[in-house]
Amino acid sequence: MDYDDVGLKKEEYDEICRRLKRLPNDVELLLFSAMWSEHCSYKHSKVLIKRYFKANTEENAGIVWISDDIGIAFKVESHNHPSAVEPFQGAATGVGGIIRDIIAMGARPIAILDSLTFGSPKSRKTRYLLEGVVSGISSYGNSIGVPTVGGEVRFDASYENNPLVNVMAVGIVNRSTIRTSRAKGVGNSLILVGSKTGRDGIHGASFASRKLREESFEDRPSVQVGDPFTEKKLIEATLEMCSLPQVIAVQDMGAAGILSSSSEMARKGGMGVDLFLERVPLREKMTPAEIMLSESQERMLFAVEKGKEKEIFECAEKWELDVANIGMLTDTGNMRLFWEGKEVADVPLDVLVDAPSYEKEITSISRSTLSLPIVNEPVNLEEVFLKLLSDPSVSSKKWIYTQYDYMVGTSTVVPPGDADAAIMLVGDGLKGMGVTIDSNGRYCNISPREGAKAVLFEAYANLVASGCRPLGITDGLNFGDPDDDRIYHQFSETIRGIAEGCDILNIPITGGNVSFYNRYEEESILPTPVIGMVGECPDVTRTVKFAFDTEGDKVYVVGEPVRGRVNSGSMYRKCVKGEVGNVFPDVDWYKIKEVFDFMLSCMEKDIFTAVHDVSDGGLAIAVAECCIPAKMGFVWEGEQPNVNILFEEIPGRFVVSIPNSKCKMFERMAHEDEIPFEEIGSVGSTDADFEVFKLPIPMLAKIYENALEEGLDLH
Amino acid sequence: MKVGIVVFPGTNCDRDTFKAFSRLPEVEVEYVWHTFTELFDYDLIVLPGGFSYGDYLRCGALARFSPVMSAVEKYILSKKGYVLGICNGFQILTEAGLLPGALSRNANNRFICEFCDIEIVNYNTPFTRMCEKRVLKLPIAHSDGNYCADASTIYELESEKRVIFRYVENPNGSMNAIAGIMDEEFRILGMMPHPERNCDGVLGNGDGRCVFESIYHELSREVSERDGLR
């Protein structure tokens, strides 16, 4: 076997030989090919992430605490490549994989969110991918009984052959049953629980570490097949086991299966590991290397105190799961593999796990900063408004989320489509949490650094708009080929942007995921950091939705006034002008943080009857979205609106409605805190009346609610 | 009142249903594992929602053969108490032949999760007597809720007032918009909507509570009558 047969570079192979002080045998070479793949080793991203993301944890998921005892474990993970070649199973196993990250911490999963990005809504490929991905998430998520409560769906031609499927899972954990993946104690057992191991997904890790091309679709066998029934049993069994004191450490099995889970577990605890591979329950005849690399789904690995394995076996048997004691922890610091009594591999774990990492000279990419001349050509505002409202990136996602069981678990207080974030109960009282997931490749393509901040601030705004105080973020970083200077530069700028944004917002990054090689043939996707965020909601009965509900309430915009030109990156520029532009708007992020703080203090005083952040499509779309749910109207009463006022999208602005009795208090508070705001009108009865055009709400509702289905010709 | 909630591997509404019953005063609620085969000592057996044994085959087709279902059948024959099947539970009851008809794929071929308006057709049952509203807001969440039966069965159900719940706007293609039915003796209720998901005001408007309160009062009355006879 040769190094390039298994996807290693010449210099990596030389490095392996140098560190081992000998040549690796074939089994060992395969172990290295998986562990040193981008997917497992993060070799292109590790250095930058370590440098800029201070609080990054190395556990399966990060945790923020909402009380002394109750923590929220959450993480986002991508499943882009598998979804590109097999959308149903790719998305389904994406859900399964991230759920196991959550249960590995001893947390009960209570919510799933997903950020999906597809190519042009007009293409047949997009329809095929979207239908497959949505039914994959629906069939898997619904079956395991974890509600899918939120997400986003976007369309842009650059994702045509490389869609993004980023899934975030959120769980609740008690401080006393929390588990880590740090395995300690010589002689302690490693117990494999879950599905039998088969040949599926072998080389999945290295498959995910290559760009997609025409032949990739022949890689369909590299995509694993999900079994939600086993996952459901595995969730219950794992949580029961985590309450047993003899369970020392838990690790889910994702990329590179038994290999990465056992080696990382032992490495984190400073141990070695011996595995006896003939003990692994198999579905078919397999070689030792295949057993190590298999990515069969729905398996977990437990480190259990020696002599106390019985209860673990009993629990697995109760849930009708396969279970086997496949090895033990040693003090050798090595991974030793045995097959029917013979040693087939023996490599130091530090050599295997600590793959070399790369940092490239960051080439500054020159790009034109010249703004296009301002052309004030006449536009038909009504036409533009309707075009934006019916754009599938903007319009209602009801066709999608009604296929997800978003209520199982009876904690969903604010379901999808009602507010900017989903709100879930945690525990028995009225305490809740808000969750959201966001991205925006258009902004990030103009300026990866400022665009990343815009995405982060958008997620923050979504939580603020629902009355939640943000607690932490997880990031899914989706990029093209890191060997390309331009892409590497995008990546490093994005990392800095997120780090700077988190400093300004004073919010920790608790974990994340990097997905490179999102490129089909020669075309890379737009740089797409996905931000998942959770926040705390002290009392779920006081959350605010975005529906206007009382005629006569005053409507205000809170935040910076518009600038006199619809900004680059806006939906207006993309859909109407056909060019997104190349100048990121000047944004004072510190000022926006003040706006956020102000909004939260208004929330504490129950000032608002509706709140919605202004994002895709600008103010006019935000107002329409407030009108549609309760079929209320709106009457414009501000200065005569023009294209900028209606469609500009600069970050950090909110539409709010306020009862007349509270307007004075609101205005006084805004003046005191020096927060810009403007009264733009009031809640009306039957029409959206923007002065320059007036349309009946039932008509808008119909367009907004059917646009996705009609635009993509979904069935 | 003693309630047993059956848990099959793959059941996922067991905890929600448990919570809904725990809201009632003086109720003992227990989980019953799918391997249980002895005679039940409960006043009410609940088959909750979920995906029993994964439901990779027709929904409920495997669960009907599970050991616990023979105990359920014995329980029904003994007339010791009542049975409530919600969603997957309803599907299992029809698969087992304990309720007539079948639940086939939704007319639109997709999973549907949404709040529906559910009309109470018959108030004179152990599960609806305490309901005051004419229409309840209850969530549905299923791929296979399209109620079908032959014409004579539908005629029988309607004329015997065994159609208990009906969709106001038919979401899944069910015949006569049927959302819930009972057996001839009015001891077994099968329904697709999830009353347990709307018992708490913060999760909706609490409309689901009256189903649980009705059976609770029914059983309390029976118990006190029994005691009175003694």
State pLDDT tens for residues A613-633.
999 999 999 999 999 999 999
Summarize pLDDT for A488-535 with one digit per residue, the tens: 999 999 999 999 999 999 999 998 999 999 998 888 999 999 999 999
pLDDT reported for residue A518: 94
How far is the C-alpha of A195 from the C-alpha of A175, rounded, in Å?
A: 29
pLDDT of res. A222: 65
Residue that wins the pLDDT comparison between A512 and A404: A404
- The pLDDT value given to residue A203: 67
Percent of chain A with pLDDT strictly greater than 90: 77
- Judge contact between B111 and A138, C-beta under 8 A: yes
Nearest CA distance, B86 vs chain A (angstrom): 13
Contact with chain B for residue A396, Cβ under 8 A: no
Q: How confident is the model at residue A376 (pLDDT cuts 50, 70, 90)?
A: low
- Please give the pLDDT value at position A363: 65
Q: How many Cβ contacts (< 8 angstroms) between chains A and B?
A: 81
Contact of A242 with A106, CB cutoff 8 Å: yes
The third-level CATH classification (topology) of the domain covering A544-712 is Phosphoribosyl-aminoimidazole Synthetase; Chain A, domain 2 (3.90.650)
Q: What is the mean pLDDT of residues A601-611?
A: 96
Residue with tokens 């029976």: B222
Q: In chain A, where are the structural domains located?
A: 61-177+410-541, 180-340, 544-712
* Residues of A whose CB is below 8 A from B13: 145, 408
The torsion angles phi and psi of A662, rounded to 5 degrees, stand at: -110, 0
Whether residues A320 and B139 touch (CB distance < 8 A) is answered with no
Euclidean distance between CA atoms A62 and A510, whole angstroms: 5
> Rounded to the nearest 5°, which phi and psi values hold at A203?
70, 15
Alpha helices by DSSP H, A171-215: 204-207
Query: In angstroms, rounded to a whole number, what is the distance separating the alpha carbons of residues A427 and A416?
Result: 21
| DSSP 8-state symbol, A107 | P
DSSP B182: E
For residues A662-667, give the mean pLDDT: 97
Question: What's CA A414's distance to the chain center, in Å?
Answer: 20
Report chain B's terminal Cα–Cα distance, integer Å.
Answer: 19
Residue-wise pLDDT tens digits, A79-138:
999 999 999 999 999 999 999 999 999 999 999 999 999 999 999 999 999 999 999 999
Q: Do B202 and A413 touch (CB under 8 A)?
A: yes
Three-state DSSP class for A389? Answer: helix
Provide the mean pLDDT of chain A: 91
pLDDT the model gives residue A91: 97
pLDDT at A200 over 90: no
Mean pLDDT of A630-652: 93
Percentage of chain A lying above the pLDDT 70 cut: 94
Q: For residue A542, list chain B residues with Cβ-Cβ distance below 8 A.
A: none
Q: Determine the residue of chain B that is closest to A410 in CA distance.
A: B197
Mean pLDDT of B4-22: 97
Calpha distance B187→B79 (Å, rounded): 8
Per DSSP, which regions of A625-665 are E strands?
633-636, 654-658
List of domains in chain B: 2-229 (3.40.50.880)
Average pLDDT over every residue of A689-715: 94
Active-site residues of B: which are they? Answer: 87, 194, 196
- Chain A residues lying within 8 Å of B197, measured CB to CB: 407-408, 410
Using an 8 Å CB-CB cutoff, list chain B residues near A403: 110-113
Instruction: Please report where in the chains the tokens 């922890």 appear, as a residue.
Output: A329
Contact between A403 and B54 using a beta-carbon 8 Å cutoff: no
Residue of B nearest to A432 (CA): B202
**Which residues of chain B neighbour A402 with C-beta distances below 8 Å?**
112-114
CA B168 to chain centroid: 19
Which residues in chain A touch residue B203, judged by CB atoms under 8 angstroms apart? 407, 410-413
- Topology classification of domain A180-340: Phosphoribosyl-aminoimidazole Synthetase; Chain A, domain 2 (3.90.650)
| pLDDT > 90 in chain B, percent | 92
Q: Which two tokens stand for residue A110?
A: 């209570």
Of A559, A558, A577, A555, whose CA–CA distance to A643 is shortest?
Answer: A577
Residues 240-299 of A with CB under 8 A from B: none
Task: Identify the CA nearest to A606 among candidates A673, A677, A558, A657.
Answer: A657
- CB–CB of B141 and A142 under 8 A? yes
Find the mean pLDDT for residues B145-154. Answer: 98
- Residues in A closer than 8 angstroms to B50, CB to CB, are 145
CB contact under 8 A, A232 and B9: yes
Instruction: Answer whether residue A58 shows pLDDT above 60.
Output: no
Beta bridge partners of A612: A655
B45: left (phi over 0), alpha (psi -120 to 50) or beta: beta
Q: Is there a contact between B196 and A233 if contact means CB atoms under 8 Å apart?
A: no
pLDDT over threshold 70, residue A152: yes
Pairwise CB contact (< 8 Å): B56 & A229: yes
Put simply, whether A385 touches B (Cβ < 8 Å) is no
Least confident of A52-66, A251-265, B142-156, B173-187: A52-66
pLDDT, one tens digit per residue, over B26-46 is 899 999 999 999 888 999 999
* Mean pLDDT for the stretch of residues A387-407: 96
pLDDT digits (tens, 9 = 90+) for A254-273: 888 999 999 999 999 999 99
Residues sharing a CB contact under 8 Å with residue B54, sequence separation 6 or more, in sequence order: A143, A227, A228, A229, A230, A232, B10
Please tell me the distance in Å from B19's CA to the nearest CA on chain A. 9
| CA of A555 vs chain B CAs: smallest distance (Å) | 26
pLDDT range class, residue A373, cuts 50, 70, 90 = very low
Q: Taken in order A570, A572, A575, A581, is the CA torsion positive or negative?
A: negative
pLDDT digits (tens, 9 = 90+) for A330-368: 999 999 999 999 999 999 999 999 888 887 777 666 554
The pLDDT of A535-543, averaged and rounded, is 93
Helix segments in A86-203, DSSP class H: 87-103, 124-144
The reply to whether residue A410 touches residue B111, judged by beta carbons under 8 angstroms, is: no
A232 Cβ under 8 Å from any chain B Cβ: yes
Q: What is the pLDDT of residue A221?
A: 62
What does the alpha-carbon distance between residue B57 and residue B88 come to, in Å, rounded to a whole number?
A: 13
Decide if A72 contacts A433 (C-beta within 8 A): yes
Query: What's the sign of the alpha-carbon dihedral A565, A567, A568, A571?
Result: negative
pLDDT reported for residue A38: 81
Alpha-carbon gap, residue A114 to A160, rounded angstroms: 18
Cα distances from A500 to residues A54, A503, B216, in angstroms, run 11, 5, 58
- Give the torsion sign (CA, A637, A643, A647, A650): negative
CA atoms within 13 Å, Cβ hemisphere of B151? 0
Radius of gyration of chain A from its Cα atoms, rounded to whole angstroms: 26
Interface probe, candidates A239, A321, A398, A405, chain B, greatest B C-beta count within 10 A:
A405
In total, chain B counts a number of residues equal to 230
At the topology level, CATH places domain A61-177+410-541 in: 60s Ribosomal Protein L30; Chain: A; (3.30.1330)
* Domains A180-340 and A544-712 agree in fold: yes
